[in-house]
Every structure is written in structure tokens, then in C-alpha cells.
Amino acid sequence: MLNIFKTKTRPFATLSLMAVFLAAVAGWLSLNNKTAHIIALILLEGAFFIYFLNRTTSRLAKDLDKFKLAVDSESDHIMITDKNSVILYLNKAAENITGYKAEEAIGKKAGELWGGNMSKDFYEKMWHTIKTEKKPFVGELTNYRKNGQTHTFIVDVVNHRKNGQAYTAELRIAPILDSKGDIQFFVGVERDITKLKEAEQLKTDFISFASHQLRTPLTVIKWNAELLRGENNDNLTSEQKRYLSEIERGEKRMATLINSLLNISRLDAEKIKVEPKPTDIIATISSIISEVSAYAEAKNCAIIFNKPFRPLPLINVDTVLFRQALLNLLNNAVHYSKPRKCKTKVDFKEIEEYYQIDVVDEGIGIPADVQNKIFDKFFRADNAIKFYTGGTGLGLYIVKLIVEISGGKIWFESIEGKGSAFHFTIPKGGMKKVVGEKELVV
């Protein structure tokens, strides 16, 4: 069986080369006729060609040995296949991760051993990317090791080790093209992230547990504050009323944080269910804007909704998730508006296969050097922290999770000091239905 790292050139013996060289020189010197000189010259040139070819191929063989040593020492699973996906090479890490020896795998396809467990859509997307578009594919997969354990593609893929165990790995596959742009090989690199996934699950479980435990004392605080406010409000001094207001504001901030943490743990664990129903999307947006209007007016900020000119059909939308996403964007727009007369615009557009919702504000904007972090969990830009201390850094992270789990996309543009424009989409066919265990906490 072919192993692309074991092909070697057969070196010529130095003595043989010297014999040819000396014979050529002797013939050249001893013969006087023109033909003999030409023959001797050809022999001499041939000797030098063979000598330098041997040196070059020996050097290439040494370089290839160095490369093989480096690849074999790499901790990531590295595999090379031909254009028909037949395995040509497997490094030591791949043997350790999958449980299959190189000699067991070479000549077979990964799908016959540890792969082939993902959905049809996944593989169609993967092959379209690497074969038709001739681009690298990045995914997160779950495979099964030879011993039965499982591992994951950077797009959830399931593999199994030789013993049947599932494992999770980040996967990158890239086509190797020749000078004409034709595919010759595929190179696949997997990183076993099973331990990382287990740690993330522990973190998610802890957040969920801690959030539930905090809700009980917080509910007691809320009830007692309401009791004080309702029964003794007339007997409270202005200072006592101020303290009570601080307690109520603190309770609301804490409740918002706990709800956000619970939602993140559920969204991260993909436990949130998405239940789209036929919805008048324009009426829903108007209702959500009304919820924020009082707060916006208190900040001297108007929210303008540019409705479409023609009536729209009902769209399949999970109104709880949609409301949470748009509400977070609107609240941010108002939170970070400058203390003057300002406008926040909400636009609804039809673009090809999507409906697009835009939320455009005239606020403080996002510094260019941190815009790549704006959807990160708990991230807040320095200017946002200085301007508004009540944020948690979770709102935009939640919005992104909601939009993407529903089959849409989200992006933004922003100029510091001038404002931001956030855009998200809903497929015209409606949000994707997702079977989950939990609902969003609102």
C-alpha cells in the first residue's frame, strides 16, 4: 500500500560515479577524433548530472524525513487522503485519538472507520465547500474512537473511536490543488476537545445551579420591598423611601442578571426550544417598541419605526425569542444614547430570502479596536462602562445566540461617538423549529 512519506530515491555509489567520471576524462584525452570527443563529453555531462541529481534527491529525502518527523510529533490528528477520500497517511496523534493504527486506516475512508455519523446536510455542506468551492472547511464534529468513545468537527460532527467511545474534535479540511487548480489531495486536521467540552458543560451546570439558588432569596427581597412599599409607604421618611428605591433597583438588576445567566446556560447547552407560530411581525415589533417607549421618552429619545409599505403575510416566529432579541437591541440603543434629543430608528426590509430588522441609534458607538469582541460573553467596551454602569455584557451575546439558533444572521456597523447600526435577519420561511427542553426566561 502506498505511503507518501516512505518513498525514497536509490542513491548511486560514489565509486561508480567516479569510475564513469574518470573513464569519460580518459576517453576525452586519449582520443583525437571529433566523434570520440563528443561521446566523452556526453559521458562527462551525464556523470555530473547523475551526481547532482543524487545530491538533490538525497537532500529532498532528508527534508521529507524532517517534515514527517514534525507531523508525527504533532499533537493534533493529521490525515491526508486522495481526491476520492481514501486515506494515504495518518500521523501518530490520529492513531492515538481514533484507536486505529495507520496500517488499518490506509486504503480505507474515514467514514468506514470513525466518521460518517453526521446529518446528510452536514456532509453536503462539507463536500460542497471542499470539492465544489475548493475552499477549506471548518467544523465541529463528534466522532467515535476505535474503542467506542466519541469525539466532535468546528460544526458538531460525531466520530467514534475504535472502541465505540464518542469524542469531540475541532476539524479543518483543506483541498490541495495542483497548478491547474485541480484537487489532488485533502488534508484533514482534528483537535480532540473532549475535555474542553466537559469543562464547558460543568461551567454551564454550575451557572444554572447558582442562578436557581439565587432566585429564592431574591424573591424574598422583592416581596418584602413590595410589602414595605404597599403597607407603610405613607409612614416612611423621604430617606427611607430612597433606601427602598435602591433596594428595588438592585433587585431588578440582580433579577436581570440571573435571568441572563439562566438563558445563556440554556442557549449554550442547546436546550432552548424554538416554537415558531404564524405571527404578524409588524404588530409584534410595534408592541415591543411600545414596551421601551416610556424609558426612551424619559431619556428624551424617540423611537421611529419605518414600516413596510405593503402588508406582509404571517411569518413563523417564536415571539418570546424574537421579543427578547429586539428588546435587548432597543434597550442598548436607549441606554447608550447621549443625554440630548436623540432618535433610534427601527427599519424592516425584505432582502432576497430574508426579512431584515435594523436598529440604528445615535449613541456613543463602539471603539473600532474592540468591535470584534462585541458579541463575546460578559464583554463591555470601556466607553460603555463609563457611560452606563448597569450593563452585564450579556445582552448582545444572548441576541446573537437567539438569532443564530433561529436560522438568522446578525452583524453591525459602528463609529465611536456617532452611533451604531445593528442588523439581524429572519428567513422568509420563518424561524427554524428546534426541539428543546427549556424556554427562555423573561
Q: What's the CATH fold of domain 277-427?
A: Heat Shock Protein 90 (3.30.565)
CATH architecture of 199-268: Orthogonal Bundle (1.10)
Domain boundaries, the chain: 14-73, 77-192, 199-268, 277-427
CA–CA gap between residue 375 and residue 410 (Å, rounded): 10
CA–CA gap between residue 371 and residue 101 (Å, rounded): 46
Q: Which residues contact 317 (CB under 8 A, 6 or more apart)?
A: 276, 277, 279, 281, 284, 426, 430, 431
Q: What angle do CA 372, 442, 412 make, to 5 degrees?
A: 20
Contact in structure between 307 and 289 (CB atoms under 8 Å): no
Q: What is the pLDDT of residues 122-169, one digit of tens each?
A: 778 888 888 888 887 776 555 545 554 433 334 445 677 888 888 877
Can you identify the CATH homologous superfamily of domain 77-192? PAS domain (3.30.450.20)
DSSP tag of 337: S
CA–CA gap between residue 56 and residue 60 (Å, rounded): 6
Q: What is the pLDDT of residues 31-68, one digit of tens each?
A: 555 555 565 556 556 656 665 666 666 676 666 667 67
Contact in structure between 338 and 350 (CB atoms under 8 Å): no
Q: What is the pLDDT of residues 311-347, one digit of tens each?
A: 899 999 999 899 999 999 999 999 898 877 789 999 9
Model pTM greater than 0.95?
Answer: no
Tell which residue, 140, 144, 146, 89, has the closest CA to residue 117.
144
- Round the average pLDDT of the chain to a whole number and report it: 79
